[in-house]
Amino acid sequence: MYVCRHTFCSNMASAGMRPKALQLIMGHSSIEITLNVYTHLEAGDLHEAMEEAYGNKQYDFYPFTRVPEHVSIDDDYEEGEADMYEEADDDVA
């Protein structure tokens, strides 16, 4: 019977039931018990969540075909600043 509670909770969460409603149905005193102990995600749930986020125009995702530009740490240093960090490293060693 105990496994059925986990299955029910996971299935309801996966179906989109609000966490607070699920907590009350399950009879848990805190939402942490409902979400961290009884709710188990499957690979399909994660895939679906990523597809949903990628399709949401609110998020700014880079296209998969975009090649990221290379940024060097040295590009951020002003002249003389890099020498200061090198000296600090020498003191530590």
**Per-residue model confidence as pLDDT tens digits over 18-61:** 999 999 999 999 999 999 999 988 888 888 888 887 777 776 66
Instruction: State the Cα–Cα distance between residues 89 and 87, nearest whole angstrom.
Output: 5
Instruction: State the Cα–Cα distance between residues 30 and 21, nearest whole angstrom.
Output: 12
This prediction has a pTM of 0.52
Q: How confident is the model at residue 4 (pLDDT cuts 50, 70, 90)?
A: very high
